[in-house]
C-alpha cells in the first residue's frame, strides 16, 4: 500500500537524521556535501519505491509484497 502523508514525513525525518548536516548547502545553487548527496539518494529511492507500489496497487487493485 502506498505511504500516507504521515509515513512519508516519518521516512524523510528518519533519513535526514541518519545523515547529519545533509541540509548544509540546501540552497538551489549551493553544492551539497557528501551526506547531502547520500540523503538525496536515499530520499529519491524511498520516493521511487512508493511510486512503484502505488502504480502496482492501481494496476492490481492491491499492494503486493516484494
pLDDT digits over 3-60, tens only? 888 998 898 888 888 888 777 655 666 667 778 788 888 989 998 988 888 888 877 7
Element spanning 43, H or E: helix 34-60
pLDDT for 66 beyond 60: no
What pLDDT, on a 0 to 100 scale, did the predictor assign at position 62?
A: 59
Cβ neighbours of residue 12 under 8 Å, at least 6 residues apart? Answer: 43, 46
Residue 63 region by backbone torsions, left for phi larger than 0, else alpha for psi between -120 and 50, else beta:
beta
Give domain limits for the chain.
Answer: 5-60
Amino acid at each position: 500500500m502506498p505511504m500516507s502523508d504521515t509515513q512519508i514525513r516519518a521516512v524523510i525525518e528518519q533519513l535526514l537524521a541518519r545523515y547529519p548536516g545533509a541540509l548544509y548547502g540546501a540552497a538551489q545553487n549551493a553544492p551539497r556535501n557528501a551526506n547531502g548527496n547520500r540523503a538525496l539518494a536515499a530520499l529519491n529511492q524511498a520516493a521511487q519505491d512508493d511510486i512503484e507500489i502505488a502504480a502496482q496497487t492501481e494496476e492490481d487493485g492491491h499492494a503486493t509484497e516484494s
